[in-house]
Amino acid sequence: MFIADIRKEFYEVVANQRVALLVAADIDALCACKILQALFHCDQVQYTLVPVTGWQDLGTAFLEHKEQFRYFVLINCGANVDLLEMLQPDDDSIFFICDTHRPVDVVNVYNDTQIKLLIKQDDDLGVPTYDDIFRDEDDEEGGDSGNESDEGSEPSGKRRRFDEGAVERRIERQRAKREWEARRREILFDYEQYEYHGTSAAMMFFELAWVLTKDTKDMLWWAVIGLTDQWVHDKITHMKYVTDIATMQRHVSRHNHRNEDEENSLSIDCMRISFEYDLRLTLYQHWSLYESICNSCYTSCHFKLWTLNGQKKLQEFLADMGLPLKQVRQKFNSMDMSIKENLREVIEESSNKYGMKDIRIQTFGVHFGFKNRFLASDMVHATAALLESTEKDESDSDNFIKALDSLSRSNLDRLHSGIDQAKKKLIAVQQTVASCICTNLILSQGPFLYCYLMEGTPDVKLFSKPMALTLLCKYLLKAFVHSTRNKRCKLLPLIMAAPKDVEKGTVIVVGIPPESETSDKKNFFGRAFEKAAESTSSRTLHDHFDTSSK
Amino acid sequence: MSAANDIGDRLTQFKNKGKDVNELRRRRAEVNVELRKAKKDDQILKRRNVQSLLDEPTSPLQEKDPNAQPPQHWSVEEIVGGVNSQTLDHQLQATQAARRLLSREKHPPIDCIIAAGLIKKFVSFLAWSECPPIQFEAAWALTNIASGTSDQTTAVVEGGAIPAFISLVTSPHPHISEQAIWALGNIAGDGSNYRDLVIKHGGLQPLLALLAAPDLSVFPSGYLRNVTWTLSNLCRNKNPAPPLTAVEQLLPALVRLLHYNDREILADTCWAVSYLTDGSNERIEVVVQAGLVPRLVQLLGCEELSIVTPALRSLGNIVTGTDEQTQCVLNAGALVMFTRLLCHDKPNIQKEAAWAVSNITAGKDTQIQEVINAGLVPILVEVLKQGDYKTQKEAVWAVTNYTSGGTLAQVAYLVQCNVLEPLLNLLTAKDSKILLVILDAVYNILQMTCKAGDIDKLCLMIEELGGLDKIEALQSHDNEAVYKSSLNIIDRFFSEENEDESVVPEATEESYTFEIPEDQSTFQF
């Protein structure tokens, strides 16, 4: 069931209990987890944090902890399957689920006792009504026990005598029941057909903190990062992003206003969050402007930087802005102040000429003390790189902890190492995109496009992780749409596969919806993959919480 | 007495072999429902119940369909008023209105009627023989109240309805008599307590008197069906089973009904017999003595699933009894029927048939021989190969029992029929209980063959069928008994150093029975 009052029905319930926190491996989940941890520290709630990377993991984590815990909080996992069916928990285990995955499984929605959904009902959920999908079995059974007994089954112990019209009515009812079942299948099909994402989990928990009047700037920043993660990884529509940014902006100005007097002056340990209308150039403040332009999806696709022509165009573009190459190629931090001063306007002006009308985007930035400034998207890229790090052979949970740490402002070193890894990852993505386009690796398979990264492709190990592969997939599709002349291909979805574990010979597959400005970001690959696996009887594991990757 | 001794001997023999006799002859255990699922549905339905309460007031509107009764919907208050009025006509109308409410299909307001205290009144109407219509309406209303939950049935019983209904059974009006019988069926169907209460009040006698009529065909078939169903409810439920004296009185009537040509009556009668045979050997004996086994066997051959199911169940129950009782079923020619039943297109029938066979092969070797003579062994192997899992499980039991009671020649025949391949294939099952049963069968077969000195060929055969690998794999099974059992087989028959014949028992029948207990006690912890 949906929880109406998150404070009374969730926080006050778990406040005096020991809680198991099961957290999925995405940035929004990490941020949500940070906020909840901060609240739990505040109120001295005991909890155990368990990172989970997939359904299997979730099952194991539950088995390991079900004896010691009654309350489980699931962050960004669990909403889109019948959780009780999957975990087979005891009757007294209670699950609080804060998950952006949609559609929410109907059984989760209508279970009143064990499943508590921390999901905003005003999110566009479209859950079928109870009566459309559930029906009191007794209604029908009652009729059958009348006079005829089912072939070969034991006669009923008690029988009610119906009035005279009962037989005809029963036939009528059976017909109605069949119709109802057909309609139910249709409704459920429509409801479960596409998967998409709802309001950020971090924002949900920030709202909880706010309701408890325990919200801090750190929490606010995490909520911003959670939302930005949804934008960077293309999980929500632009419309939804802008709306939620506005919500966050209200909180930001409230906080800035509250601390106006004491903190207006910068101090060494201050933290200042500000709304920015900033450039869509990835990590540019921690890179050189040139490298950022080359490795940002937006600019690289527009210039088609994988072509010679594109490279030329880039030079023209830089010339148009009147930025000396020497300045552009050096670290952003070391650029002349005079250039940096109105850099954003200069870039915007030239971009407009080159058809990049939306090079700027509403976002937030943060200052830690004097020196460190980050955009929300910087944080997302850095943390994501740490979370899916393949540099050393560390376990998933080590990476998880590192990524979680990088979100604390006391751990700037870790954050910087994350930024370094993120740069490498972005370069790898760009190079892979370029090579896939140049060597025509994207095949049109009729209703969809398909690309398989061969074993031995450079950086292929990086793309054995779901977030990285999804990011690559999205960049690749965008680049493909810009480079192909085939109009039909622009409307096709893309399926991408990469080797997951070379030794075991497994492959990871993701599917993404067609690329278009008006895309509703709804993904039908979840169901399609299930069907495909069924019809080819391949051995598959639909493990990822996004059903569209496995 | 000698029979009892006989069983005792066999019992100890089996016990010494490390098994309970109950495990070899396996009585019917209630099927486990998927509890978890049910619970989950309950949780969802809780919400539903709230809603259904809410739409109670509007439900008369929902009932608007062309077939509905004349639109006179009385509220419960109006009914109470009417029932307590002074005019008979008004009382009748009110009772009829109550009956209508209780006869509607969705959410009959049983609890409201009970709460309004109407039961006492209705029970008193039952005695108004000067006004048959009100007797009938009250009987119908009470029938429907008693058809509900245990609490609702209790309300009817506590209103003093049992004796009132019993006297109505002999009413001159057949429709009132029928309704009273139906009501008694509902009350008796609630459980052992009320069943025995009906019997105690003398409910059985008027029913039996009816069935003693020289020609049963004078009754309309609907009427007779109700009588049969109520009678079957009087046989139903265990803990405790119905009093033995009542059963003895009842049986002749059942025998008579068993020869009546009506599908539903035959089905309900067979169910009644199946209830009576689901118990101790003493109870089985009473049924067998009534002489209905041949007729049951005959009914096994009919086409109607609704009759075959309970007939097979009854016979299956009987062969859980003593060797003599089992023999009685065999003498009636039951095994001939099993050829068809074991290949029946309903998996449930296959399973029940295999269960019955497993209890027959748990008997004497002459009985095993009858199974062989009826040609059932190849069919059993087939079932083992491709039946559904539950049927396979029963077939496994049949094989294991066969191997523990059969002679060397019989076991050799079993192996000839290629039982090993499907049997060993089932060693991949998850259920450790069934693994143990299979391992026992394998052990028994090896043991017997060993005795005959022909062990090498068999061992090779098991190895070639991939059985050895599977048994070896089971040595690392989580279940300790499975591990020990598989280890024991490997140790005794498949390890090199055991080539010396010292462990192998002498091949006389005498020493065999002694040898076994010792061997088994080592693997029994």
What are the backbone angles phi and psi of residue A204, rounded to the nearest 5°? -60, -50
Q: Which one, of A23, A22, A32, lies nearest residue A407 by Cα?
A: A32
User: What pLDDT is stored for residue B81 in this prediction?
Assistant: 92
User: What pLDDT is stored for residue A411 in this prediction?
Assistant: 87
Alpha-carbon distance of A535 to A530, in angstroms, equals: 9
User: What pLDDT is stored for residue B44 in this prediction?
Assistant: 43
Alpha-carbon distance of B6 to B505, in angstroms, equals: 26
Task: Tell me what ipTM this predicted complex has.
Answer: 0.71
With an 8 Å Cβ cutoff, are B105 and A136 in contact?
A: no
User: What pLDDT is stored for residue B275 in this prediction?
Assistant: 95
By CB atoms closer than 10 A (0-12, 13-18, 19+), residue A209 is buried
CB-based contact A115:A83 (threshold 8 Å) = yes
- List of chain B residues whose C-beta atoms are within 8 Å of the C-beta of residue A151: 305-306
Residue A168, Cβ neighbours under 10 Å: how many?
12
Longest dimension (CA), chain B: 100
By CB atoms closer than 10 A (0-12, 13-18, 19+), residue A123 is middle
Interface test with B, best of A158, A167, A169 (most B CBs within 10 A): A158
- List of chain A residues whose C-beta atoms are within 8 Å of the C-beta of residue B102: 160
For every residue of A178-226, DSSP letters joined together read HHHHHHHHHHHHHHHH-BEE-S-HHHHHHHHHHHTT---HHHHHHHHHH
Alpha-carbon distance of A216 to B267, in angstroms, equals: 74
Q: Which among A112, A152, A165 is the nearest to B68, CB-wise?
A: A165
Alpha-carbon distance of A171 to A114, in angstroms, equals: 37
What is the phi-psi region of residue A33: left when phi exceeds 0, alpha when psi lies from -120 to 50, beta otherwise? alpha
- List of chain B residues whose C-beta atoms are within 8 Å of the C-beta of residue A156: 189
How far does CA B107 lie from the centroid of its chain? 31
Alpha carbon of A127: minimum distance to chain B alpha carbons (Å): 16
Q: In this structure, what token pair is assigned to residue B180?
A: 């009273």
On whether any CB of chain A is under 8 Å from the CB of B105, the answer is yes
Residue A483, Cβ neighbours under 10 Å: how many?
17
Cβ–Cβ pairs < 8 A, chains A and B? 102
Alpha carbon of A48: minimum distance to chain B alpha carbons (Å): 27
CB-based contact B414:B378 (threshold 8 Å) = no
Residues comprising chain A, all counted: 550
On whether any CB of chain B is under 8 Å from the CB of A84, the answer is yes
pTM, to two decimals: 0.59
CB-based contact A389:A402 (threshold 8 Å) = yes
Alpha-carbon distance of A471 to A462, in angstroms, equals: 11
B132 upstream amide cis, omega within 30 of 0? no
Q: In this structure, what token pair is assigned to residue B410?
A: 């019989």
With an 8 Å Cβ cutoff, are A157 and B264 in contact?
A: no
Alpha carbon of A524: minimum distance to chain B alpha carbons (Å): 28
Pairing of strands A115-117, A46-52: unpaired
Residue A536, Cβ neighbours under 10 Å: how many?
8
User: What pLDDT is stored for residue B35 in this prediction?
Assistant: 38
Q: Which one, of A443, A458, A390, lies nearest residue A421 by Cα?
A: A390
Helix (H/G/I), strand (E/B), else coil: B113: helix
What are the backbone angles phi and psi of residue A460, rounded to the nearest 5°? -65, -25
Q: Which among B43, B48, B52 is the nearest to A111, CB-wise?
A: B43
- List of chain B residues whose C-beta atoms are within 8 Å of the C-beta of residue A133: none
Q: Which one, of A144, A129, A147, lies nearest residue A174 by Cα?
A: A144
On whether any CB of chain A is under 8 Å from the CB of B74, the answer is no
B240 upstream amide cis, omega within 30 of 0? yes
Q: Which one, of B183, B230, B196, B189, lies nearest residue B211 by Cα?
A: B230
Residue ranges of chain B whose pLDDT lies below 50:
1-21, 30-71, 498-525
On whether any CB of chain A is under 8 Å from the CB of B226, the answer is no
Helix (H/G/I), strand (E/B), else coil: B342: coil
Residues contacting residue A390 through CB under 8 Å, at least 6 positions apart: A461, A462, A464, A465
Q: Which among B105, B144, B229 is the nearest to A166, CB-wise?
A: B105
With an 8 Å Cβ cutoff, are B186 and A159 in contact?
A: yes
On whether any CB of chain B is under 8 Å from the CB of A275, the answer is no
Alpha-carbon distance of B61 to B63, in angstroms, equals: 5
With an 8 Å Cβ cutoff, are A155 and B229 in contact?
A: yes
Q: In this structure, what token pair is assigned to residue B18?
A: 């490390």
Alpha-carbon distance of A461 to A440, in angstroms, equals: 21
With an 8 Å Cβ cutoff, are B346 and A136 in contact?
A: no
Residues 327-346 of A with CB under 8 A from B: none
On whether any CB of chain B is under 8 Å from the CB of A111, the answer is yes
Alpha-carbon distance of A419 to A373, in angstroms, equals: 13
Residues contacting residue B409 through CB under 8 Å, at least 6 positions apart: none
Place of tokens 């109700």: B226
Alpha carbon of B186: minimum distance to chain A alpha carbons (Å): 5
With an 8 Å Cβ cutoff, are B271 and A155 in contact?
A: yes
SS3 track for B415-483: HHCCCHHHHHHHHHCCCHHHHHHHHHHHHHHHHHHHHHCCHHHHHHHHHHCCHHHHHHHHCCCCCHHHH
Residues contacting residue A278 through CB under 8 Å, at least 6 positions apart: A344, A360, A361, A363, A365, A375
Alpha-carbon distance of B159 to B117, in angstroms, equals: 10
User: What pLDDT is stored for residue B496 in this prediction?
Assistant: 66
Alpha-carbon distance of A188 to A185, in angstroms, equals: 5
With an 8 Å Cβ cutoff, are B44 and A137 in contact?
A: no
Q: In this structure, what token pair is assigned to residue B422?
A: 């499907």
What are the backbone angles phi and psi of residue A507, rounded to the nearest 5°? -130, 140
Residue-wise pLDDT tens digits, B27-85: 665 433 333 334 444 444 333 333 333 333 333 333 333 343 444 678 899 999 999 99
Pairing of strands A372-375, A196-197: unpaired
Sign of dihedral through CA atoms A451, A455, A457, A460? positive
- List of chain A residues whose C-beta atoms are within 8 Å of the C-beta of residue B51: 130
By CB atoms closer than 10 A (0-12, 13-18, 19+), residue A341 is exposed
Interface test with A, best of B55, B147, B181, B270 (most A CBs within 10 A): B147
Beta bridge partners of A331: A288
pLDDT tens for each residue of chain A, 550 residues long? 899 899 999 999 998 889 999 999 999 999 999 999 999 999 999 999 999 988 888 999 999 998 899 999 999 999 988 999 889 898 889 999 999 998 899 999 988 889 999 998 766 678 888 888 887 654 444 333 333 445 678 888 888 888 766 667 778 888 888 888 899 999 988 888 888 889 999 999 999 999 999 999 999 999 999 999 999 998 898 899 999 999 999 999 998 877 665 555 556 667 889 999 999 999 999 999 999 999 999 999 999 999 999 999 999 999 999 888 888 999 998 888 888 888 899 999 999 999 898 899 999 999 888 788 899 999 999 999 999 988 777 788 899 999 999 999 888 999 999 999 999 999 999 999 999 998 988 888 888 888 998 888 888 888 988 899 999 999 999 999 888 888 787 788 888 888 887 777 788 888 888 876 556 667 777 777 776 766 555 555 566 666 555 5
Alpha carbon of B360: minimum distance to chain A alpha carbons (Å): 23
On whether any CB of chain B is under 8 Å from the CB of A140, the answer is no
Q: In this structure, what token pair is assigned to residue B376?
A: 């059932």
- List of chain B residues whose C-beta atoms are within 8 Å of the C-beta of residue A159: 147, 182, 185-186, 229
Alpha-carbon distance of B419 to B445, in angstroms, equals: 11
CB-based contact A382:A418 (threshold 8 Å) = yes
Residues contacting residue B137 through CB under 8 Å, at least 6 positions apart: B92, B95, B96, B98, B99, B125
On whether any CB of chain A is under 8 Å from the CB of B346, the answer is yes
Alpha-carbon distance of B220 to B217, in angstroms, equals: 7
With vertex at residue A38, the alpha carbon angle to CA A33 and CA A44, rounded to the nearest 5 degrees, is 115
Q: What letter does residue A11 receive in the DSSP assignment?
A: I
Q: In this structure, what token pair is assigned to residue B189?
A: 């169907």
How far does CA A47 lie from the centroid of its chain? 24
Pairing of strands A449-452, A494-501: parallel
Half-sphere exposure of A18 (CA within 13 A, CB side): 8
On whether any CB of chain A is under 8 Å from the CB of B43, the answer is yes
CB-based contact B470:B424 (threshold 8 Å) = yes
CB-based contact A99:A119 (threshold 8 Å) = yes
What are the backbone angles phi and psi of residue B364, rounded to the nearest 5°? -75, 160
